[in-house]
Amino acid sequence: PAKASGGGAGGLNLATAALFGLVGGLILNLMPCVFPVLAMKAASLAGHGGGAHAQARRQGLAFGAGVLATFLVLAGGLVALQAAGAAVGWGFQLQSPPVVAALALLMLAIALNLSGVFEVAGSLQNVGSGLAGRGGTAGAFFTGALAVVVAAPCTAPFMGAAIGWALGQSALVALTVFAALGVGFAAPFVAIAFAPALLDRLPAPGPWMDVFRKALAFPMYAAAAWLVWVLTQQAGADALARILAAAIVLALAAWLAGAAQRRALSGGRPLAQGLAAAALAAVAIGAVVWPRYAEATSTTAEAPAGSVPYEPYTPERLAALRAEGRPVLVNYTAAWCVSCQVNERVALSTRGVAEALSRSGAAYLKADWTKKDAVIAADLARFGRAGVPLYLVYGADGGEPAILPVLLTEGLVVRALDAAAKPR
C-alpha cells in the first residue's frame, strides 16, 4: 500500500493530474455506480444497427458534449462552494436529501418511460419504431448528463488523486482536470459511435427493440430503489414515507401522460389529462424538493449484527487508539457511495478481516460522510482526496498511515492489517 505524503497528491502537476483524470474517467465506466446508465447507453446504441452511421456519430458527439458539460458544471459548483468556505467534495450534491429524493423520482420516471407507460418527445434513449429515423441528439446529450450525475457516487482509481490535487489549484486548472475526466468518461461510447465495423454488427432496428427497451427499465427501477435507501440513511423514516407517496403520485402522473398521448393519437382531445399529469408531477417533485428534512440518527453508532465490529470515527478517538500503540483501520465511507458499499460487502465485512483485526489488535473506525461533515472533508483534503472512499491503516509504531486502493479485496486488507501490527 501507498504511504501518505503530506497532501497525498502534492507530487502531481497539471499534465500528470490531467492524465490521471483521463485514465480515471475511462475506469469510471467500469465502476458499479454507472451500471444503471449502461442500460441507457445500450438502448441508444441499439437504435443504430444496420448502418445508421451518420446518426450514430451525431449522437456519440452529443453524448460526449453532455458528459463534458455536466462535469464542468459540477466542477464549477464545487470550486465555487469551496471558495465560499464550504467543506464539500466530489459527490457533494448527494449529501443533500432533496437532491437524492429528486434523483430517485427522475430514475423512476426514466424507468416508467422505458416500460412504455408514457413517451418523451424524441425519446430519452432514441428507441422504438417511430423514433428510429429521428436525430435524437437532445436525448443523447441528456443521457450523457445523467450518466455523470449517476457516476458521482463513485471514485475510480487515479481519479481521487487527480480531483484532490485539482481542487487545491486555481479554478482554471481545476476545470482543466475535470474536463480531462469527462473526456475519459465519454471516450468509450463516442469511440463506438465512430466505429462503423462495430455498429454494423448490431442487428437492424425492429420489433425486438421494444422488448429490449422494456427489459432495460429494471436497472433504472433498481437505481431508484437504491436512492430511496440512501435517503432513509440521511433523513430517516419520515423521508421514506414522503418519497414513497411522491413516487405513487409521479407514477399516476406518468400513466395519465401516457393516456393523454394515446388519446391524441386516436384523434381525441387530451388537454385535461395532460394538465392533470403535469400538475401531479409538479406536486410529486415539490413534495420532495422543498420541505425541510430531519436529521437521521447516525448510521455508524454501532455495528449491525453479523458485521465486523467498528466504532464511529472521531479525531479524538483515533488519537487515543494511536496513543495506546494499536493499529487502526479507518474507513471513510458514505451511504450514497456505491464503491464504498461494494467494498464493504466484498472486502471489509468478511471473516478474514474480522480475524485479522483480532489477531493484530487493530481497531476499526468508520467515518461516515453520508451527510456533510467538515471534519471528514478536512481529513480527505489532508490526504489529497476530494471524496470517498478512502481507506487508511495506521501502524502500531506510529508514523503516517498506509493508503489502501479504492477497490479492495479481503486479502489486501488482511495483509495491510498484519503489516500494521509489526515493527517497521
Q: What is the full DSSP assignment across 224-270? A: HHHHHHHHHHHHHHHHHHHHHHHHHHHHHHHHHHHHHHHHHHTT---
Task: Set out the domains of the chain in order of their start, with CATH numbers.
Answer: 2-289 (no CATH), 311-420 (3.40.30.10)
Using the 8-state DSSP alphabet, how is residue 34 labeled? G
* 198, 56 Cβ separation under 8 angstroms: no
* 216, 113 Cβ separation under 8 angstroms: no
Interatomic CA distance for residues 231 and 104, integer angstroms: 9
Interatomic CA distance for residues 131 and 124, integer angstroms: 10
Query: How many Å separate Cα 209 from the centre of its chain?
Result: 27
For residue 410, what is the enclosing H or E element? helix 410-420
Q: What count of other Cβ atoms lies within 10 Å of the Cβ of residue 336?
A: 29
Q: Is 209 helix (H, G, I), strand (E, B) or coil?
A: helix
pLDDT tens by residue, the chain, 424 residues: 444 433 445 568 999 999 999 999 999 888 777 777 766 666 666 665 555 678 888 888 999 999 999 999 999 998 898 888 877 788 888 889 999 999 999 999 989 998 999 987 544 344 333 333 334 788 788 888 888 888 877 777 888 889 988 988 899 999 999 999 999 999 998 998 888 777 777 776 677 778 888 888 898 899 899 999 999 999 988 899 999 999 999 999 999 999 999 888 888 888 888 899 999 999 999 999 887 887 765 444 444 545 689 999 999 999 999 999 999 999 999 999 988 999 999 999 999 999 999 999 999 999 999 988 999 999 998 998 888 999 999 999 888 999 999 989 999 999 999 999 977 6
Three-state secondary structure of 81-124:
HHHCCCCCCCCHHHHCHHHHHHHHHHHHHHHHHHCCCCCCCCCC
Bridge partners of 393? 329, 402
In this predicted model, what pLDDT tens digit does every residue of 169-185 receive, in sequence order? 899 999 999 999 999 99
Q: Side chain identity at 310, as an amino acid letter? A: Y
**CA–CA distances in Å: residue 309 to residues 227, 361, 366, 420:** 26, 13, 10, 18
| Residues with Cβ within 8 Å of residue 202, at least 6 apart in sequence | 45, 46, 48, 49, 50
